[in-house]
Amino acid sequence: MSPEEFLDWVNAVEEIMDFKEVPMERRVPLMATRLRGRASAWWQQLKISRNRQGKTKITDWEKLKKKMRVEFLPHNYTRIMYQRLQNLRQNTRSVDDYTDEFYQLVARNDLSETQEQLILRYVGGLRAQFQDELIMYDLCSVSDAHQRALVLEKRFARRPVGNWSSTARASAGAAPSTRAVPSQPAVPAAIKPAAAASTYKCFKCGEPGHRMADCRKSDRPGKALFIKPDGAIHDSLEGYDQEPLFDNGSEEMEEIIVEGDTGPLLVVRRESPNSGHDYNIGLCFHYDGPDD
């Protein structure tokens, strides 16, 4: 029997006896009828040992519970339960699972805390996002905090798991997807040279099928640059054998004389302020016309 199972059994027996209003002097014999297995063997050994030692029978229910706790619970069980309650956190569990363990640990520990302290202990074990929301409410009990935490859990479950920046970083770090490219049909080797030959013509003779370096029909490069509409080759170099023509200077050029502007010229001169003189403005007349 585990410690939790033993405590649950004791609590259930007490509830039944309280419901049936069993007198205190009759609770020990009634409880003895409910013992099974190891508990029944222990009870029989305890009665024999006390009888040999000359001790009286156990008739007090509280005294019997104390001896049963010493026998079926670890010696540091109280310390373990209190440490588990202090370190209780929700982490990745649901709100219901966390609440169930919270109530069990509170029942296992004999706490003398007020209702407000229990509420703060319960909220302090929830996730940080739940704590930030619940701290704004005026909670009246642990059950009230539990119900509001369930509403928050459903609300956060409807939100997307990651934000835009995380999604963008994840998509940027992922390898680009590749699409299957349909394979091109293979071209027979006999057709390839003919198709390639029709794409260019000779620069010298103008006929397709070969290049200028392989041409044997003309020794004059650039002769077949231009082809007439009737297909005849036109020598584009004709007319360039004559001597160049230059101007002989026989034509007379009209001479244009441009004269500058004439008339009075105004000049403004300013003296330095450090010289101690006043500002003077002088007029200088300049005339480029003929003398009278």
Q: Can you tell me the distance from the alpha carbon of 66 to that of 194, in angstroms, rounded to the nearest whole number?
A: 108
Whether residue 203 contacts residue 214, with contact meaning beta carbons closer than 8 Å, is answered with no
Q: Which residues contact 123 (CB under 8 A, 6 or more apart)?
A: 130, 131, 134, 135, 139, 145
173 assigned to some structural domain: no
Task: Read off the pLDDT of residues 259-268 as tens digits, 9 standing for 90 and up.
Answer: 766 767 666 6
41 domain-assigned: yes
Q: What is the pLDDT of residues 130-184, one digit of tens each?
A: 988 888 888 899 999 999 999 999 988 887 655 444 444 544 454 445 555 555 5
Instruction: Out of 158, 187, 206, pick the residue that ends a domain.
Output: 158
Within a domain: 54: yes
Which structural domain range is residue 93 located in? 89-158
Q: What mean pLDDT is predicted for residues 184-200? A: 52
Q: Do residues 64 and 117 share a domain?
A: no
Q: How many domains does the chain have?
A: 3
Res. 290 pLDDT band, cuts 50 70 90: low
Residues 44 and 99 in one domain: no
Q: Indicate if 118 and 153 belong to the same structural domain.
A: yes
- How does strand 233-234 pair with strand 226-227? antiparallel
One domain, residues 150 and 94: yes
Q: Are residues 14 and 45 in the same domain?
A: yes
| Distance, CA of 32 to CA of 49 (rounded, Å) | 16
pLDDT score at 168: 45
Q: Are residues 7 and 56 in the same domain?
A: yes
Query: Within a domain: residue 165?
Result: no
